[in-house]
Amino acid sequence: MNKKEVLELKRRFKKESATFTRVAGCYVDGNRNKVCRIGSTFLNLEEDEFYKYLEIASKALSGTLGNNLLNLQFPAEEEEVGGRQHILMALRASGLNDEALLEAFYDLVIDIFDYAGNYLILLFHDAYDVMSRTSDHMDLDESEEVYEYLICAICPVDLSKPGLGYLAEEQRIGPRVRDWVVGAVDTAFLFPAFNDRSSDIHAALFYTKNTKEPHAEFMANGLGCGVERTATEHKMAFHSIVRNVLGAEDEHTDDVLLDMQQNLSEMIEEFEETHDEDEAFLLDKAVVNRLLEDCSIPEEKASRIEKSVNEAFGEKPPEAEHVIDKKALAQNELRAEKLVLEDQVGSLTLQLNKKEDELKERTSELAEKQEEIDSYTAETRTYDVVLRVKPEKASQIRSQMIDGEKCLVIPLREDEHAAINGVNTTV
193-226 tens-digit pLDDT: 999 999 999 999 999 999 999 999 999 999 999 8
Confidence of residue 380 (pLDDT cuts 50, 70, 90): low
- My answer on whether omega of the bond before 318 falls inside 30° of 0, hence cis, is no
Q: Radius of gyration over alpha carbons of the chain, in Å?
A: 43
Residues 264-286 have pLDDT tens digits of: 888 988 998 888 877 889 999 89
Q: Which residues contact 371 (CB under 8 A, 6 or more apart)?
A: none
- The larger pLDDT score, comparing residue 68 to residue 138, is at 68
Is residue 294 packed enough to be buried (19+ CB in 10 Å), middle (13-18) or exposed (0-12)? Answer: middle
Q: Give the other-Cβ count within 10 Å of 363's Cβ.
A: 10
226: which DSSP letter?
P
Structural domain includes residue 366? no
Is residue 60 packed enough to be buried (19+ CB in 10 Å), middle (13-18) or exposed (0-12)? Answer: buried
User: For residue 381, what pLDDT is reported?
Assistant: 61
Structural domain includes residue 127? yes
User: For residue 85, what pLDDT is reported?
Assistant: 93
Q: Which residues contact 130 (CB under 8 A, 6 or more apart)?
A: 143, 144, 145, 146, 147, 197, 198
The domain boundary residue, chosen from 273, 304, 324: 324
Domain count, the chain: 3
Please tell me whether residues 420 and 287 are part of one structural domain.
no
Closest CA to 258 of 354, 341, 326: 326
Residues 397-414 have pLDDT tens digits of: 888 888 888 888 888 887
Structural domain includes residue 382? no
User: For residue 199, what pLDDT is reported?
Assistant: 94
Please tell me whether residues 224 and 238 are part of one structural domain.
no
- CA torsion, ordered 135, 136, 140, 144, to nearest 10 deg: 40
Structural domain includes residue 218? yes
**Residue pair 21/112 in contact by the 8 Å Cβ criterion:** no
321: which DSSP letter?
G
Please tell me whether residues 13 and 139 are part of one structural domain.
yes
Name the percent of the chain lying above pLDDT 70.
94
DSSP string, 110-136: HHH---SSEEEEEEEEEEEEEEEE-TT
The domain boundary residue, chosen from 228, 252, 268: 228
Q: What angle do CA 172, 177, 182 make, to 5 degrees?
A: 140
User: For residue 422, what pLDDT is reported?
Assistant: 65
Closest CA to 21 of 165, 129, 107, 178: 129
Please tell me whether residues 214 and 302 are part of one structural domain.
no
Structural domain includes residue 121? yes
Closest CA to 97 of 45, 24, 30: 24
Please tell me whether residues 88 and 196 are part of one structural domain.
yes
Closest CA to 121 of 130, 131, 111, 129: 111
- H/E segment holding residue 405: strand 405-409
Angle between helices 253-274 and 231-246 (to 10 degrees): 130
User: For residue 96, what pLDDT is reported?
Assistant: 96
Q: Which residues contact 59 (CB under 8 A, 6 or more apart)?
A: 153, 184, 185, 188, 207
Instruction: Report the pLDDT averaged over residues 247-259.
Output: 82
Please tell me whether residues 18 and 78 are part of one structural domain.
yes
Q: What angle do CA 352, 354, 355 make, to 5 degrees?
A: 65
- Residue 356: CA atoms inside 13 Å, Cβ hemisphere, count? 6
Q: How far is CA 345 from the centre of its chain?
A: 30
Structural domain includes residue 357? no
Q: Is the pLDDT of residue 21 over 80?
A: yes
Please tell me whether residues 45 and 191 are part of one structural domain.
yes
Owning domain of residue 117: 3-228
- The larger pLDDT score, comparing residue 125 to residue 401, is at 125
| Strands (E) located in 201-294 | 203-208
Identify any residues that bridge with 204 across adjacent strands, giving them in sequence order.
72
Q: Give the other-Cβ count within 10 Å of 164's Cβ.
A: 9
Q: Is the pLDDT of residue 231 over 80?
A: yes
Task: Give the lowest-confidence range in 121-125, 180-184, 189-193, 274-278.
Answer: 274-278
Please tell me whether residues 135 and 260 are part of one structural domain.
no
Please tell me whether residues 188 and 91 are part of one structural domain.
yes
- H/E segment holding residue 25: strand 22-28
Residues 156-165 have pLDDT tens digits of: 999 988 888 8
Please tell me whether residues 44 and 182 are part of one structural domain.
yes
Please tell me whether residues 56 and 182 are part of one structural domain.
yes
Please tell me whether residues 155 and 39 are part of one structural domain.
yes
How far is Cα 206 from Cα 213, in angstroms, rounded to an integer? 14
Is the backbone of residue 168 left (phi > 0), alpha (psi -120 to 50) or beta? alpha
Structural domain includes residue 370? no
The domain boundary residue, chosen from 185, 200, 228: 228
How far is Cα 232 from Cα 325, in angstroms, rounded to an integer? 9
Residues 299-353 have pLDDT tens digits of: 899 999 999 999 888 888 999 899 888 887 787 777 777 778 888 888 888 888 8
How far is Cα 234 from Cα 211, in angstroms, rounded to an integer? 10
Structural domain includes residue 76? yes
Backbone angles phi, psi at 174, to 5 degrees: -155, -175
